[in-house]
Structure 1
């Protein structure tokens, strides 16, 4: 590992029309399964990267290059990993598609920036500005009714005199952990914490449950402008949580026949709404 990059070189392997997995090796917390086969004069290679250990250490992206070589050709492949078990696929032709092949990679982990975040105890401490107490996971959160009601239809109803909870001194909030609830509120409370790729899915799930539309809009902005999440998952998130601008961008991201086909064959496609499936199918037809 030099200058932050993780470097690896495989052994030589023979590739033919019958081969599949060529090698499974780990190098500094990155496990790679390399598969390859020949169709006619066409090489077809895949690399599946498991980097969950690095992800748990705060890595949110890995970038770099793969170089695959035989006696006649060296091919450079750009790598951008944002999901664990992500697969890189490459096909290329060669007039000499026989003999031994090897690959090397140079991959650099990128760590999630650590943002300044006030402690949850400070954020939900008693103050003259707070006039309600929520009980989450057995812990007390002192909050402002007007502020929460402005941002959330859920809390607007909860604090209403039409509900018994609105008359309670301490209101229990069930089926959510203290950490997750604090994460949601921290995205729009004073001194908000920015959404990251690591928190985006949990935040969207909670924003939908507690009807905080502004948080969904903030999250969509992150996904549109700063996220490194792959296009397939981005499309699913846009469809699942109702983010129209992100959905249109993700559909446009299917800018080749191969990408459109890959999306249609993916597990995420089966989870899409019928309306979005039709958009993907229309995009596929654009290339036929």
Structure 2
């Protein structure tokens, strides 16, 4: 699905046979390098190179829209160029013929980022019977399915809460990206957690009481992670992952590892219970 349209208008630039890069712009997560040069046949070769890595990190995986190129001297008619970029540093090209060997030109774009991986929660369907409003965006969910996975929503949708009777329920103090990340971990076409997303997912799963997501993350941390053991021990303790906690304690099998844990920033955040288990492990070893 889509988010807000991003618009931009360049300054007026001269293009000739000896020009190349005309302008570099940074606008709402999109960096665009605009280049233009002329060949001997009075053709202007325009390119726009888009760097949108910042938006990709927010879950956007496609940008569509159009570019409009204009001549201040009316050497050519306003020209619209369709844009569809799916890769970072993708280049859009357009050749325009004019009557002279130079021109003063500008361009503007109107681009729409797409949260395509979030389409199923941003699009109304027969399966979705409840609307949540998160960060000013409507999120379409199935009340029964969400209630099954989340004690938070089971209570929220009940008749005991006024929100349960509302057509659109606001979910406050959470960004759309974080909330969508949580839903997409278990809601239809699930996206597996990564080392980069586990900490945010644990925070969200704990807040919205989605135990299935914590179980998914526990499996990831036990089998597929490169996160250091001290941080894993803290996460296992903080978010109640008993299998992972047992594994981390079991791997605490040397004085060097014990000293490293004690000096780590995570140690002070451990519960007294976790510290006692770590101490008991060391006593049995030595």
TM-score (norm 2): 0.59
Aligned to 1:276: 274
Aligned to 1:142: 140
After TM superposition, give the deviation of residue 118 of structure 1 in Å.
4.6
Mapped to 1, the partners of 2:187 and 2:168 lie a distance apart of 20
Please identify, of 195-204 and 259-268, the stretch whose mean Cα deviation from structure 2 is larger.
259-268
Mapped to 2, the partners of 1:125 and 1:136 lie a distance apart of 14
**Secondary structure of the residue that 2:192 maps to in structure 1?**
coil
Aligned to 2:44: none
After TM superposition, give the deviation of residue 162 of structure 1 in Å.
1.1
Q: Deviations over 1:47-74 (max 9, x none)?
A: xxxxxxxxxx99xxxxxxxxxxxxxxxx
Is the 8 Å Cα contact of residues 136 and 178 (structure 1) preserved in structure 2? yes
Aligned to 2:118: 120
Mapped to 1, the partners of 2:170 and 2:275 lie a distance apart of 40
Mapped to 2, the partners of 1:249 and 1:152 lie a distance apart of 27
Aligned to 1:201: 199
Aligned residue among 157, 162, 168 for 1:164: 162
**Secondary structure of the residue that 1:171 maps to in structure 2?**
strand
After TM superposition, give the deviation of residue 270 of structure 1 in Å.
0.8
Alignment of 1:189-268 (within 5 A): 189-268=187-266
**Secondary structure of the residue that 1:229 maps to in structure 2?**
coil
Over the residues paired in the alignment, what is the CA RMSD in angstroms? 1.6
Describe the shift of the 1:240–1:268 C-alpha distance in structure 2 as closer, same or farther (beyond 3 A). Answer: same
Is the 8 Å Cα contact of residues 133 and 169 (structure 2) preserved in structure 1? yes
Aligned to 1:286: 284
Mapped to 2, the partners of 1:286 and 1:227 lie a distance apart of 28
**Secondary structure of the residue that 2:249 maps to in structure 1?**
helix
Kindly name which structure, 1 or 2, has the bigger radius of gyration based on alpha carbons.
2
Mapped to 2, the partners of 1:220 and 1:141 lie a distance apart of 27
Which stretches of structure 1, 4 residues or more, deviate above 6 A after TM superposition? none
Give the total of aligned pairs: 174
